[in-house]
A and B are shown apart, each in its own frame.
Chain A
Amino acid sequence: AQSVTQLDSHVSVSEGTPVLLRCNYSSSYSPSLFWYVQHPNKGLQLLLKYTSAATLVKGINGFEAEFKKSETSFHLTKPSAHMSDAAEYFCVVTLRNRDDKIIFGKGTRLHILP
């Protein structure tokens, strides 16, 4: 069985400070991991993904994430938050060897304080 846990439902940071959104997963097979962002009243957009290549993945808008198999984590980070980063963020796990499983985390709402 597979699952994904986003440890924080809400995260608040000040503009210009680092962002950390946490994601842990469990998977019986080799996982692919994704981070998607959803701005208010919009669809989801891919930030970055891990599919078995480099464990440190760089995405759009300065975000990056590191796949740590030993910790079963795929935390999302950004060195300096911008007001436009305020959104809902979803961690997603899929199974590369079985294409019928897609599990979304419950989401983390990122608030940026001026």
Chain B
Amino acid sequence: DTAVSQTPKYLVTQMGNDKSIKCEQNLGHDTMYWYKQDSKKFLKIMFSYNNKELIINETVPNRFSPKSPDKAHLNLHINSLELGDSAVYFCASSLGLPGIDTQYFGPGTRLTVL
């Protein structure tokens, strides 16, 4: 059974479109995260939710909106996609808060904006 899963694995879309990426974890964790990895492999945290409450909200364009319907799911919606949004987006989860607990990562969603 996959611990942290993301859909879709690949997403190719045109500039200006709106798209969503879904993430689910079956580990019973309280905290979930979204990361962006650019073409140089640099990873940056975007958002984190703990028990459905937003705890990390880094400086990202407000075109990006996370939604956590329950503790096991954290979705990422992106409006008006731009070329610079092309990247691999990783979802992760941890048992508790990020200060101590290990994060478990999903396989990533490769987003390509044409």
Q: Which residues of A contact B (CB under 8 A)?
A: 32, 34, 36, 38, 41-46, 49, 51, 88, 90, 94-100, 102, 104, 106-107, 109
Contacts and interface: CB of A to CB of B under 8 A. Distances in A.
B44 A104 contact: yes
B48 to A, nearest CB: 8
A107 B42 contact: yes
Given A104-B43, A107-B42, A46 B103 contact: yes
Given A90-B43, A99-B99, 8 more contacts: A42-B107, A43-B92, A44-B43, A88-B41, A96-B100, A99-B98, A100-B48, A104-B42
Contacts of A34: 102
Interface SS of chain A: helix, strand, loop or mixed?
strand
Interface string B79-108: 000000000001010000111101111111
Contacts of A99: 50, 55, 97-99
B45 interface: yes
B50 to A, nearest CB: 8
A20 B98 CA distance: 26
